[in-house]
């Protein structure tokens, strides 16, 4: 199995060196989503951030071979420079945190994963084409895994990825009173994060021009999200849609606002139906859900105590859950924001907040409602579990969403039928002319 994994890694590496550079981030997303988690985070690649290294290859290739996209170049040049500086400061502090850690080898591995998984998407100069293609790819994959999760939930079995993960020694996480779909991602919360971002992108991009195919696609993504029984994922998708669609309302001309208002109404009706679904009701009333909520409150108090003991500088990258459990907590720190605070301290939390703020400013200034909604969905979803410190393979999700914001341009997008010419064609706001 190890030989097969290494051979596959070399094949992917060769492809990454040969395919057009602007397609590479979408290929990374597809590999992350379509391969079973065990193939990415178990066996010979357990501590080797293979997808992050592909992301790094993309950055190097783009820096030296790809022309800078001209859309919004001058208006965004200053923001891009400031964003690069902020990225270097944040990743630099991650490196410093290794020396604050009692688990330096683990911290060093985590920091390397963060650098190659998060850094490239922030340090490329105006990756507009990559961002456009990435949004479409995310929606396509969201439809695929939304449909798969719906079938998985109905069958109560991860019929494809369960056996594949078992080959790599990855056990199922199912231990709840209700069955929760997990797809290739190894955990319902990871799948729900992916689908929440896809839902936000699909609804926001489709708000100006709904088609039957696009409506069905959004419905499949939502159905898959429900099948994960993740309340946090549903909240993330809902808030991402709300922010994206409201932002679009302020950016389009009056003739198109009625469609967007109808989209908001439809989204509200869908949310009401979802909250009344038997699966979500059963999950909310289950004993483990009540215990999980209580444990989160308890571990939050322990996190603040640990932060004070570290002199507010943090315990070292990737160590928050381990330090918390060493202190006697029965559960890990299931909140990515608190993980940043405990691991990287006040300086790291401030730098991360500054990065997020700059990305939001760039996306808002560029009127890229889809990218802003995706970032909001990501942040809300990550507040509900221990993704940042304990799941290094998910650094690539953060990096790819950051790339969407870094690639924001002075444009809005009009959705076309997915089956016949996918969400293509960025259009200038208020104009029907295609970009030259």
Per-residue pLDDT of 308-362, as tens digits, reads: 999 999 999 999 989 988 887 777 888 999 999 999 999 999 999 999 999 999 9
109-151 per-position pLDDT tens digit: 999 999 999 999 999 888 999 999 999 999 999 999 999 999 9
Distance of CA 63 to the CA centre of its chain: 24
Helix, strand, coil percentages in the chain from 3-state DSSP, rounded to 5? 75, 0, 25
Name the β-bridge partners of 427. 412, 434
403 in Cβ contact with 134 (< 8 Å): yes
Residue 389 tokens read as 């410190």
pLDDT for 289 beyond 70: no
Write the secondary structure of 158-186 as one string of H (helix), E (strand) and C (coil).
Answer: CCCHHHHHHHCCCCCCCCCCCCCCCCCCC
Q: What is the pLDDT of residue 5?
A: 54
Residue matched to tokens 């950051």? 402
Residue 372 sits at the vertex; the CA angle it makes with 430 and 86, to the nearest 5 degrees, is: 120
The mean pLDDT value of the chain amounts to 82
Arithmetic mean of pLDDT, 214-234 = 91
156: left (phi over 0), alpha (psi -120 to 50) or beta: left
Q: What is the pLDDT of residue 102?
A: 92
- Residue 413 in 3-state DSSP? strand
Strands of 302-436, DSSP E: 412-413, 426-427
The residue ranges of every structural domain in the chain are 2-66+81-410
Name which of 85, 75, 69, 45 is nearest 126 in CA terms.
Answer: 69
Name which of 385, 417, 416 is nearest 186 in CA terms.
Answer: 385
Residue 153 tokens read as 């939930």
């Amino acid at each position: 199995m190890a030989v097969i994994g290494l051979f596959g890694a070399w094949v992917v590496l060769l492809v990454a060196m040969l395919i057009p550079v602007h397609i590479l981030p979408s290929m990374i997303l597809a590999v992350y989503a379509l391969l079973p988690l065990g193939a990415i985070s178990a066996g010979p690649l357990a501590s080797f951030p293979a997808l992050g290294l592909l992301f790094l290859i993309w950055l190097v290739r783009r820096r030296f071979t790809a022309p800078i996209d001209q859309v919004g170049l001058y208006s965004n040049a200053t923001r891009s420079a400031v964003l690069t500086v902020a990225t270097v400061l944040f990743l630099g502090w991650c490196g410093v945190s290794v020396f604050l850690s009692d688990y330096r080898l683990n911290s060093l591995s985590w920091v390397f994963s963060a650098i190659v998984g998060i850094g490239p998407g922030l340090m490329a100069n105006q990756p507009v084409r990559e961002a456009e293609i990435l949004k479409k790819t995310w929606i396509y994959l969201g439809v695929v895994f939304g449909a798969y999760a719906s079938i998985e939930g109905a069958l109560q079995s991860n019929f494809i990825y369960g056996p594949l993960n078992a080959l790599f020694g990855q056990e199922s996480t199912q231990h709840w009173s209700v069955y929760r779909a997990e797809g290739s991602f190894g955990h319902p919360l990871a799948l729900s994060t992916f689908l929440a971002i896809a839902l936000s992108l699909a609804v926001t991009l489709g708000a100006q021009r709904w088609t039957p195919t696009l409506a069905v696609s959004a419905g499949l993504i939502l159905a898959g999200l429900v099948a994960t029984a993740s309340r946090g994922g549903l909240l993330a998708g809902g808030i991402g849609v709300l922010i994206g669609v409201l932002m679009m309302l302020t950016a389009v001309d009056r003739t198109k606002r009625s469609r967007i208002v109808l989209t908001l109404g439809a989204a509200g009706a869908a949310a009401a139906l979802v909250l009344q679904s038997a699966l979500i009701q059963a999950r909310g009333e289950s004993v483990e859900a009540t215990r999980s909520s209580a444990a989160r409150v308890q571990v939050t108090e322990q996190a603040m105590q640990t932060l004070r003991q570290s002199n507010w500088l943090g315990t070292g990258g990737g160590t928050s859950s381990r330090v918390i459990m060493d202190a006697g907590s029965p559960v890990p720190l299931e909140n990515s924001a608190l993980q940043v605070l405990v691991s990287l301290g006040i300086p790291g939390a401030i730098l991360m907040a500054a990065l997020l703020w700059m990305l939001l400013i760039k996306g808002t200034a560029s009127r890229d409602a889809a990218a802003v909604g995706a970032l909001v969905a990501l942040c809300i979803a990550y507040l509900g579990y221990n993704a940042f410190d304990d799941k290094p393979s998910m650094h690539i999700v953060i990096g790819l969403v950051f790339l969407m914001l870094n690639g924001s341009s002075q444009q809005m997008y009009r959705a076309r039928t997915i089956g016949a010419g996918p969400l293509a064609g960025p259009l200038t706001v208020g104009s029907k002319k295609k970009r030259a």
